[in-house]
Amino acid sequence: MPFQGLDYLELDSLYTEEEIMVRDSVRDFVEAEIVPIIEEHYQNATQPDNIAGKLADLGIFGIKTSPDYGGAGANYTTYGLAMQELERGDSGVRSFASVQNSLVMYPIEQYASEEVKKKWLPKMCKGEAIGCFGLTEPDHGSNPGGMLTNAKKIDGGYLLNGAKMWITNGSIADAAVVWAKLEGRITGFVVEKGMKGFTAPEMKNKHSLRASITSELVFEDVEIPEQNRLNIDGLRGPLSCLSQARFGIAYGALGAAMQMYDSSLSYSKSRIQFDKPIAGFQMVQEKLVWMLNEISKGQLLAWRVGRLFEEGKAKPEHISMAKRNNVKVALEAARKAREIHGANGILSEYPIMRHANNLESVYTYEGTHDIHTLILGADITGIQAFK
């Protein structure tokens, strides 16, 4: 039976007709194009065929980008609901779209020269160009300020050296938004595929996000033209991008949780033990109610942060709360769903283990659970616990 959604608190009344229309169109796409094939791609560690073109045709790329550059100019809530439905299909598919939108197109639109905007944004909206985002390094994840990648001013531009790691879309990207230190200050550059000294070897043997491409980025005396430098200095540049992406994750993780709840409810009604469906047992009902309860609270949290974004009131700490809570809920939902499915929960016939493995990465990337805890802790106490 096709997925009907999960709206126990009748939250659809909080959304506009346009927001619901976009959500439902992405939901239908996921049901028709992703759900039937994603397990095979996960097992084979391959990205779904022509996924970029299909997402572009759906209007996912550039969903928040200005129409001046070929985007839809939609609001944050619309973007969040789209990410929710994509991650219901698979975290790797949502990651692909999230990186393109929030980590590449957003900084280009906000900080790049008009020349760079016109060169890349229309192509990216159409899926004709793919982007990636280079911040994390082999030895600097939660502490991006310690990055070693550096840029040096030369005639007509900059010379870039260093390496980045855990980069979604890296080896297929046509352009990379890369953060480096220039005279001790962090700034961003648009590095283009084919620039001499720029390579992006793919990372293999993952147990998570297997239907998504993850790569390293290596820069060896890469010459970057002056116009490819972003007009932003300091950590606020990359962190502003991460705020966009973290919001999408807060909605996206709920999609994964919804899929596992839906599978668990259906399975528990059909699985017979001791002459009755296991849905009739108290312990199973407790797990189902926990999932319903926490997903519903997560929906309210994501909705509120989206509206704060649209009102210009969203703080990074609000986004940390939503990302932290909703990914944790989804990961715990995976465990409870696995218990409900019993031994069958490890089979590819059900989405449980795939979502569980994917969510282990989502729990860690773009700010680990612990880092978001400390961000919130510092905000409410006024005491910085990072150092």
Which tens digits make up the pLDDT trace of 71-128?
999 999 999 999 999 999 999 999 999 999 999 999 999 999 999 999 999 999 999 9
- End of a domain among 203, 235, 267? 235
Please say if the pLDDT value at position 14 is more than 70: yes
In tens, the pLDDT along 217-242 reads 999 999 999 999 999 999 899 999 99
| CA–CA dist 116, 373 (Å, integer) | 37
Domain co-membership, 278 together with 164: no
Note whether residue 3 is domain-resident. no
Phi first, then psi: give them for residue 202, nearest 5 degrees.
Answer: -75, 145
Q: Which helix (H) or strand (E) holds 3?
A: none
What integer pLDDT is reported at residue 223 of this predicted model?
A: 96
Which residues contact residue 130 at a Cβ distance below 8 angstroms, ignoring those fewer than 6 apart?
52, 100, 124, 169, 172, 173, 174, 175
Same domain, 277 and 225: no
Query: What pLDDT is attached to residue 261?
Result: 97
Tokens of 54: 């299909």
Pair (280, 367) in one structural domain: yes
Q: Is 36 in the same domain as 16?
A: yes
Which pLDDT does position 2 carry in this prediction? 67
Share of the chain above pLDDT 90, in %: 92
Cα separation of 151 and 223, whole Å? 9
Q: What is the mean pLDDT of residues 167-171?
A: 94
User: Is residue 343, in this structure, part of any structural domain at all?
Assistant: yes
pLDDT the model gives residue 44: 95
Q: How far apart are CA 387 and CA 378, in angstroms?
A: 11
How confident is the model at residue 1, as a pLDDT?
64
**Confidence class of residue 5 from pLDDT cuts 50, 70 and 90?**
confident
Instruction: Provide the residue type at 256 as one letter.
Output: A
Give the pLDDT confidence of 21-50 residue by residue, as tens digits: 999 999 999 999 999 999 999 999 999 989
Q: Which residues are catalytic?
A: 366
Decide if 297 is inside a domain.
yes
Rounded average pLDDT over 236-261: 95
| In a domain? residue 259 | yes
CB 170 within 8 A of CB 202: yes
The pLDDT of residue 322 is 97
Q: What's the pLDDT at 305?
A: 97
Residue pLDDT, tens place only, 258-271: 999 999 999 999 99
| Pair 224, 252 in one domain | no
Q: Which of 235, 260, 275 is the last residue of a domain?
A: 235
Is 192 in the same domain as 316? no
Model-level pTM? 0.94
Are 297 and 325 contained in the same domain?
yes
Asked if 31 and 2 count as a contact pair (C-beta separation under 8 A), the reply is yes
CATH code, 111:
1.10.540.10
CA torsion sign for 10, 14, 16, 20 is negative
What's the rounded mean pLDDT across residues 346-353? 95
Do 194 and 137 share a structural domain? yes
The position carrying tokens 């390293």 is: 216
276 and 266 in a common domain: yes
More confident residue, 150 or 141: 150
In tens, the pLDDT along 152-163 reads 999 999 999 999
Mean residue pLDDT across the chain: 94
332 lies in the same domain as 245:
yes
* Residue 5 included in any domain: no
| Alpha-carbon torsion, ordered 31, 37, 43, 49, to 10 deg | -110
Number of residues that this document lists for the chain: 387
Q: Tokens in use for 331?
A: 């990961």
- Per the CB < 8 A criterion, the answer to whether 21 and 78 are in contact is no
Q: State the residue range of the domain holding 251.
A: 237-381
Q: Give the separation between CA 335 and CA 122, rounded to whole angstroms.
A: 42
Each residue's pLDDT tens digit, 316-331: 999 999 999 999 999 9
CATH number at residue 226: 2.40.110.10
Return the closest-CA partner of residue 195 out of 161, 241, 150, 144: 161
Average pLDDT (290-310) is 97
Tally the C-alpha atoms within 13 A of residue 47's C-alpha that lie toward its C-beta: 21
Q: Do 247 and 372 have their domain in common?
A: yes
CA distance 298 to 253: 9
Res 212 pLDDT > 90? yes
Residue 20's pLDDT is 97
Q: Evaluate whether residue 387 is within a structural domain.
A: no
CATH of the domain at 365: 1.20.140.10
Same domain? 167 vs 241: no
Does residue 2 belong to any structural domain of this protein? no
Overall number of domains in the chain:
3
- Domain membership flag for residue 190: yes
What pLDDT, on the 0 to 100 scale, is given for residue 145?
A: 81
Q: Which of 125, 159, 191 is the last residue of a domain?
A: 125
